[in-house]
Amino acid sequence: MAPRTAKLAPLALAATASLTLGAAPATPTATPTAQLAATFMATAKYRDHRLAVAAGYVPDQYCVVNPGEGGGALGYPHFNHAYDGSTDPKKPTALLYEGDGAGHWKLAGLEWMVVDRDGRTDTDDDRPSLFGQPFRGPLPARYAGQKVHYSLHLWLWKRNPSGRFEPFNPKVVCRPGTTRPRPAAPATAPAAPGAAAPAAPPAAAPS
């Protein structure tokens, strides 16, 4: 009897061929379907978290939640700054993982980030696109060292009911205590010696 792997080989070869035919190098004329196939082929290996880290993707220590309305989260971004500014479907700037806190990681999505040329949020003449989708932005910097930028998310490895290219996925959840702490409110400066105490508010008039 033929080995089981031999029976599976034709199917695997056929599947690979069908993707490879569509996985042309990123060019201005590449179709969205071809670009998605290229992304699938290039990032499938990163389902093994160890390979992502070995390739230069650095885990963020915090799980990122949607700061606005709508809920959802990004999960744990893993940035590879060698791919800052990439619009290559095979080289996302960040991989987005779900983590269980016990060292198990599950690849969920991808992100591409491109710095805005003039650093202004009121102009967008340099907006990039990928997969037939315009990048979001220009977006303001959200942490020290970040610049005004464009961003595109792709939920290739976990279904997003809000849409494949939406920035946050309601099916991704950050566990309690894993998100970035909010900045502490600035402490009130002590009154200078001899300074007058603030006046008491006037008493309310009887009703």
The per-residue pLDDT for range 127-167, each reduced to its tens digit, is 999 999 999 999 998 877 889 999 999 999 999 999 999 99
pLDDT band of 86, cuts 50, 70, 90: very high
Cα–Cα distance measured from residue 97 to residue 105, given in angstroms and rounded to the nearest whole number: 6
Q: In the prediction, which pLDDT does 2 show?
A: 40
Higher-pLDDT residue of 89 and 188 is 89
Higher-pLDDT residue of 63 and 199 is 63
Q: In the prediction, which pLDDT does 196 show?
A: 53
End-to-end CA distance of the chain: 97
Contact 58, 159 (CB under 8 A): no
CA atoms within 13 A on the CB side of 192: 1
pLDDT tens-digit readout, 24-61:
344 455 899 999 999 999 999 999 999 999 999 999 99
Closest listed residue to residue 65, CA positions, set 77, 57, 53: 77
Cα–Cα distance measured from residue 95 to residue 36, given in angstroms and rounded to the nearest whole number: 15
**DSSP, residue by residue, 21-52:** HH-PPP-TT--HHHHHHHHHHHHGGGGSHHHH
Rounded to two decimals, the pTM is: 0.75
Does pLDDT of 4 surpass 60? no
Q: In the prediction, which pLDDT does 113 show?
A: 97
- Hey, where are the domains in the chain? 32-180
